[in-house]
Structure formats: structure tokens, C-alpha cells
């Protein structure tokens, strides 16, 4: 079962149970459909007979700062851009992309108005995320508590960082296929590699590393 979307509180007022459910519905609808639901869609989903009843909930969500609305478009029965939620977009999560910052010599600031789509950043649909536990990959700048973005596939080239399943245990390591064994190499000089004999243990690749997400 999918994890429910939680309204991002921050310093915003709390939502009632009904408002929370409607907010979750709108978020999920946008992510799955690529556009926000119409007033009638929300009414049908929550058995609200009157469009005015739906509008009351939307006005409350807007007043509390959870959604933005184009009221003129809503009055015409439209849906495109009538409801927007910062950070929620078709197919996933996005953040404002305001420009480039120097990590060496300073550069001239040039503000831009774009959004960085997590899905577009990694360029494919068949990706998933795992949370790292342990320090076996610290020399590749992957630390305990980081989130790794994995492209789902069942093969890899030697030297690629993969998520491998050895018997029933999952691990993130550098992959090397040899004639008689598979070597799963940590990126930590203090740890030994995992050597797997496929004739004695089952070993499979679940995906290849394509990104790392870290909260500072």
C-alpha cells in the first residue's frame, strides 16, 4: 500500500481530517494525471453533491497556504492550472531551480525561474530509491543515511555500483564478474569484499546506482 502524502506543515495552520484527505487526493491526482482535478472530480471522490461544498474546502486549503488557485478558470469549469501545489508535479517531486552557485571562483548571479524535476534529472521511469545503512561506500561519497537512486535492471558492467541480492540479503557495492565468482567490492578500505560463488549461493542484480540524495 502506498504511503499517504502528508501535508507539509512548516508554519502553516493544521488541516482538518477532511481537508487533509482532499489535499492528499489533489496531490496524487496531479502526480498521476499530469493536471489537477476538476471541481466535479473532487465532489465525486468525496461524495460532495454541491460544487460550493468543494469550493469551501479549496478556499480553506488556499487560505492556509497549501494550494494556489486560479479562481476564474475554476468558475468556467476548467482544470488546467486552476489548482497548483508548490513542489508537486506530474510524475513526482520538483523544487525551484533559481540558478547556478559557484563552488570555486565567484560567478555573476543570474536568477532564473525554473523547476528541477526529480524524474527528469535521472532521465527514466524505472528508478527507485533506497536508504543507505552503513559505511561501506563512504569513499564514493555515499554515507549512512543517504538515499540512493537506483535504475532497475538485472545486469551491470564491471566496476558499476549496484544493488545486489545475495541469497536474501541486499547490499550496495561495486560489481565485478569473474570467471568463477562475483566480487562485490566496498568503497571503504577498512572492509573486505564479498566473494560469491554462484554455484553455492544465489546472486542477482536489482539495479545500478544513478544518483545520491542527501539531506544536510
The separation between the first and the last C-alpha atoms of the chain, rounded to the nearest angstrom, is: 29
CB atoms within 10 A of CB 163: 22
Residue among 200, 148, 204, 199 nearest 175 (CA): 204
Judge contact between 180 and 198, C-beta under 8 A: no
Place of cell 555515499: 142
Write the CB contacts of 91 (distance below 8 Å, at least 6 apart in sequence): 31, 34, 117, 119
Q: Helices 51-63 and 17-33: crossing angle, nearest 10°? A: 90
Catalytic residue IDs: 136, 173
Give the whole-angstrom CA distance, residue 192 versus residue 119.
35
Residues of the chain by 3-state class (helix, strand, coil), percent to 5: 25, 25, 50
Residue among 55, 35, 31 nearest 43 (CA): 55
Amino acid at each position: 500500500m502506498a504511503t499517504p502524502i502528508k501535508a507539509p506543515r512548516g508554519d502553516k495552520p493544521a488541516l482538518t481530517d477532511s481537508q487533509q484527505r482532499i489535499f492528499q487526493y489533489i496531490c496524487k491526482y496531479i502526480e498521476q494525471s499530469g493536471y489537477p482535478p476538476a471541481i466535479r472530480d473532487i465532489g465525486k471522490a468525496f461524495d460532495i453533491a454541491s460544487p460550493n461544498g468543494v469550493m469551501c474546502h479549496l478556499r480553506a486549503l488556499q487560505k492556509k497556504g497549501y494550494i494556489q488557485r486560479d479562481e476564474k478558470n475554476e468558475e468556467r469549469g476548467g482544470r488546467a492550472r486552476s489548482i497548483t501545489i508548490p513542489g508537486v508535479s506530474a510524475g513526482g517531486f520538483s523544487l525551484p531551480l533559481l540558478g547556478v552557485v559557484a563552488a570555486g571562483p565567484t560567478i555573476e548571479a543570474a536568477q532564473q525561474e525554473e523547476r528541477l524535476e526529480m524524474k527528469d534529472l535521472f532521465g527514466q521511469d524505472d528508478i527507485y530509491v533506497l536508504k543507505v545503512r552503513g559505511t561501506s561506500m563512504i569513499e564514493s561519497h555515499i554515507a549512512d543515511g543517504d538515499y540512493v537512486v537506483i535504475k532497475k535492471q538485472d545486469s551491470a558492467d564491471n566496476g558499476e555500483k549496484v544493488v545486489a541480492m545475495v541469497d536474501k540479503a541486499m547490499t550496495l557495492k561495486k560489481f565485478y564478474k569473474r570467471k568463477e565468482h562475483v566480487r562485490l567490492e566496498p568503497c571503504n578500505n577498512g572492509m573486505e569484499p564479498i566473494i560469491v560463488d554462484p554455484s553455492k549461493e544465489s546472486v542477482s542484480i536489482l539495479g545500478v546506482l544513478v544518483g545520491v540524495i542527501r539531506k544536510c
